[in-house]
Amino acid sequence: MTQNETIKLPYQAPWSWLQFHEHFKLRAIAGQERLGECDYCRSFRLAGVTGWFRVTALPDQDALLLTCSASASACLPALVQRVRRMFDLDADPAVIAAHFAADLRLAPMLARNPGLRLPTALDAFEQAVRAIVGQQVTVKAAVTITGRLVNRLGEPLDGGPTGIDRLFPTPAALAAANLDGIGMPGKRVQTLQHFAAQVANGELRLDISQGAAELIERLCALPGIGPWTAEYIALRAFGDADAFPASDLGLLKAPIWGAAGITARQLQAHAEAWRPWRAYAAAHLWHNYSGG
């Protein structure tokens, strides 16, 4: 595959590029990712292959355009699968909307934003690192710190488009690094490096082949990782449709609960009716909370 060849990735409408643009606008890491008005570009490491890809929204078609580096030919089926998951192109919006149609709180949100999907990560390890770094800090602060990790530990990428010249650090590099001055509390650095070491040595498998609940349990067994982080990883790293971080502030303070908000226990109970699509309910609550 040459750099100029492209693949169309179809989806079932509605689907909103604006949602993904806003998502990446808050989270893109310089050197690794670049966001344009109608496209998103980033580096990747997959099955021993490194390179870059660009996804472009096609306003007149129900499809995205995927353009890859020549190196991607060695892992193209896996990359296409990852990109489809990343942009949630395999969801059936009609099925999800039908499930929430009788919910007096969620149905109006779906009517306003029928194309809302689950933006997820290209790489599970990267997303887990972002989630750990993001514990108890703002998204902006987490992106700043993660950007320092990429600049300090990420390998250079040659031949990428302008602004795409760095790969995300490997688990081994992150586990062995000196992270003094990175901007995180010592305990969180310990949590991050222990997690990275577990992935690097094969003790921790980042997959949901045995179900998301099993991964969440394994993650919660690690020091410094609680239910919010584990559920968020299941949601953002794998697009698990029923993952639900019930203690998330944005979910607890969503406008639909009124000025007083709701407790995590109350939300957990309320969300039982949203199974097996609780992650999509979370996407709408977050969207509603952010005013997007």
Q: What is the pLDDT of residues 270-288, one digit of tens each?
A: 999 999 999 999 999 998 8
**Residue 180 annotated among the catalytic residues of the structure:** no
Taking only the tens place, the pLDDT of each residue in 26-79 is: 999 999 999 999 999 999 999 999 999 999 999 899 999 999 999 999 999 999
This prediction has a pTM of 0.95
Q: What DSSP assignment string belongs to the chain?
A: --TT-EEEEE-PSP--HHHHHHHHHHH--TBTEEE-SSEEEEEEEETTEEEEEEEEE-TTSSEEEEEE-GGGGGSHHHHHHHHHHHTTTT--HHHHHHHHTT-TTHHHHHHH-TT------S-HHHHHHHHHHTTTS-HHHHHHHHHHHHHHHPPB-TTPSTTB-BPPPPHHHHHH---TTSSS-HHHHHHHHHHHHHHHTTSS----TT-HHHHHHHHHTSTT--HHHHHHHHHHHH--TT---TT-HHHHT-GGG-TT---HHHHHHHGGGGTT-HHHHHHHHHHHHHT-
Domain ranges of the chain: 6-91, 124-290
Taking only the tens place, the pLDDT of each residue in 176-189 is: 999 999 999 999 99
Q: Of the residues 88, 240, 242, 248, which is catalytic? A: 248
Taking only the tens place, the pLDDT of each residue in 78-127 is: 999 999 999 999 999 999 999 999 999 999 999 999 989 999 999 999 99
Among 3.40.50.450, 3.30.310.20, 3.30.70.20, 3.60.15.10, what is the CATH number of 6-91? 3.30.310.20
CATH number of 124-290: 1.10.340.30
